[in-house]
């Protein structure tokens, strides 16, 4: 069994067991996500695994935020954004995967901006402004592909 299949089975197990296997188990899975998950061509197994990865990052972000661990929470948002941005930027990625990734990046950046704006420190407001500038610059280079409907499902 390859790394993508093993990782997918491991994260599915974590989800089926719920939080009884602990947040550390999910954090370990997310932190050690194999890079092969994001390497084209993207198979159905990889699609499923990427969907779990994104959801896992969001779960960890919400958990850390609820515990007041703001930097750790934000790191999971950044990590997710970076992995999807890398996937969308890969020269060999399929057009449908690229479109899905770009649409997901749009969603994640909104969440990151909201996260920043909820914080009390003015540095977070500056971070929000920088995020917008960088996201706009990245998206301008994508020829509007995030505006088209993707036919591929990533759950």
Single pTM value for the model:
0.87
**How far, in Å, CA of 147 to CA of 150, rounded?**
9
Predicted local confidence at residue 127, as pLDDT? 95
**How far, in Å, CA of 34 to CA of 113, rounded?**
28
**Residue numbers of the chain with a pLDDT score lower than 70:** 1, 18-21, 144-155
1 three-state secondary structure: coil
- Could you tell me which residues come within 8 angstroms of residue 116 by beta carbon, excluding any fewer than 6 positions away? 74, 124, 125, 127, 128, 131
Predicted local confidence at residue 140, as pLDDT? 84
């Amino acid at each position: 069994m390859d790394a993508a299949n093993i990782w997918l089975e491991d994260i599915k197990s974590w989800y089926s067991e719920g939080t009884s296997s602990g947040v550390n188990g999910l954090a370990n899975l997310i932190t050690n996500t194999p890079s092969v998950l994001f390497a084209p061509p993207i198979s159905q197994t990889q699609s499923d695994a990427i969907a779990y990865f994104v959801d896992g990052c969001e779960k960890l972000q919400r958990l850390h935020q609820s515990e007041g661990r703001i930097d750790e929470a934000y790191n999971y948002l950044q990590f997710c954004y970076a992995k999807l941005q890398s996937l969308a930027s890969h020269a060999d990625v399929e057009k449908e995967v690229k479109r899905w990734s770009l649409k997901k990046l749009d969603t994640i950046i909104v969440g990151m901006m909201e996260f920043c704006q909820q914080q009390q420190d003015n540095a977070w407001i500056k971070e929000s402004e920088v995020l917008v500038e960088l996201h706009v610059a990245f998206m301008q280079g994508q020829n509007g592909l995030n505006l088209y409907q993707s036919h591929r499902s990533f759950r």
